[in-house]
Structure 1
């Protein structure tokens, strides 16, 4: 069967299963099976596909119809122009998180802490964009850190990214301070979990999605330790759910942070809260 026919059949299967962006996903999966860049797939669509590869593609389409994320099928996800390994042990990097990256890069920094680093996509992207910066990523999940280690090594950032197992600030040394702290913590409230898409609810790590409470527990923990670990004049940036900006800003104010601002994503939804340590640098 030709590639174009496979894409058409795969798209029809995904549409029947009510998968969003069915045509896009069918093309991405065929590109993965054929080992060609997605942007060049059109050149291969008129060609006959090896029967063994056709079987693999059909299996992937069926798995996608069962709402397994494309990134879990391909093992890869593009984030801020770089490809990251993704497994069921980590959150699938999302385009809206690039809002945090842009905000972090808007001002200089030499050291960064990423709390709950997961795949490492935030920490490693920031270090790749700032070639003299160093950073630490912490995560309570050893399985997630294994993915971050792989991504760190693939990007050749072993000398600048230190990955440590533990909860929040616990893995840090007592004198560790950073002029940038970032986090995309679990912020889905328990009552919201049932309304998530099957791709997220059924396939991503629950520990990274929800605090099993009101969705704000992570921000309490982050703000509780931030003044010790954030250098004077340094910045804290956290990703939030679109209805959480007021509560998170209030927690930051109570912690002693100043200059608090809310940054929307490309869809106009509140996405990042940023604040500054009021102390003087140097």
Structure 2
């Protein structure tokens, strides 16, 4: 079968499954199967694909048509210009979360001690470490042992020296340990909302990393309250937030004594990051 025909089959299958980015995904899956970029398929549209490529491509298109996320199929996601391994044990890194990294960088200096709470794939702390050429002291926490396994693999693949600890928020961090910056993209979706999310999210991404409990604010309260124990004076806490959570999280930070609170919008003009300074 010619590559052009194979691609069209893939596009039609994904389109009929209701996948919005069906054309891009069809290309991405064929790139993954063959190891070639899409320019090759454009220039060689009439070239015959081997039987093994045909069979493997059909299998992957079938998986994607069941709404399994593309990144879980290929094991690859891109964040801040770096390639990360991902599987069903971690959230897929989102472009919007790059705003969190950009804001966090404003409060980091050489040798700053940085802690990432709810690290998941490790994409935030690893990106910060790489962007500062390894000249920060980095630590990351997650309650999920399976997620930490993914984060450790990513750190190793990207040659980062980061201390990963299994911990329910700060549970396994000594109270005498201090940080200059604490970052977190915690679970912040209301429990009742999860069933309304797109199938790729609600069926395949880990609920543990999505569910912010009844009002979506549980982890903001817990982290904000406990972080004051671990932040140096003038240290910063930086959160990613949902677009409708600015007022609620600002109030939580104020209640816990944070000052100089700022909210930063993403490129779509939505509230995305909140930061507060420890007194």
Same topology, TM > 0.5: yes
| Residue-pair matches, total | 276
Which residue of the partner structure matches residue 265 of structure 2? Answer: 264
Counterpart Cα distance in 1 of 2:167 and 2:74: 29
Moved more, 134-143 or 2-11: 2-11
Alignment map for 1:74-223 (pairs within 5 Å): 74-109=74-109, 110-131=112-133, 132-157=135-160, 160-223=161-224
Which residue of the partner structure matches residue 62 of structure 1? Answer: 62
1:98-133: CA deviations, max 9, x gaps? 110111123333121000101000010100101211
1:50-73: CA deviations, max 9, x gaps? 211111111111111110000010
1:258-277: CA deviations, max 9, x gaps? 11111111111111111112
In structure 2, the CA distance between the partners of 1:101 and 1:58, relative to structure 1 (3 Å rule), is same
Which residue of the partner structure matches residue 252 of structure 2? Answer: 251
In structure 2, the CA distance between the partners of 1:27 and 1:118, relative to structure 1 (3 Å rule), is same
Counterpart Cα distance in 1 of 2:201 and 2:158: 26
C-alpha contact (below 8 Å) 2:145/2:166 kept by paired residues: yes
C-alpha contact (below 8 Å) 2:77/2:93 kept by paired residues: yes
In structure 2, the CA distance between the partners of 1:40 and 1:217, relative to structure 1 (3 Å rule), is farther
In structure 2, the CA distance between the partners of 1:84 and 1:275, relative to structure 1 (3 Å rule), is same
Counterpart Cα distance in 2 of 1:266 and 1:166: 33
Shift of 1:90: 0.3
Shift of 1:38: 5.4
Counterpart Cα distance in 2 of 1:38 and 1:115: 38
What is the TM-score normalised by the length of structure 2?
0.95
What is the TM-score normalised by the length of structure 1?
0.94
1:238-258: CA deviations, max 9, x gaps? 111111111101111111111
Shift of 1:45: 4.1
Counterpart Cα distance in 1 of 2:114 and 2:276: 15
Counterpart Cα distance in 2 of 1:33 and 1:163: 33
In structure 2, the CA distance between the partners of 1:39 and 1:126, relative to structure 1 (3 Å rule), is farther
Moved more, 84-93 or 223-232: 223-232
C-alpha contact (below 8 Å) 2:4/2:41 kept by paired residues: no
Which residue of the partner structure matches residue 242 of structure 1? Answer: 243
Shift of 1:175: 1.8
Counterpart Cα distance in 1 of 2:38 and 2:98: 21
Q: Could you say what secondary structure the match of 2:124 adopts?
A: helix
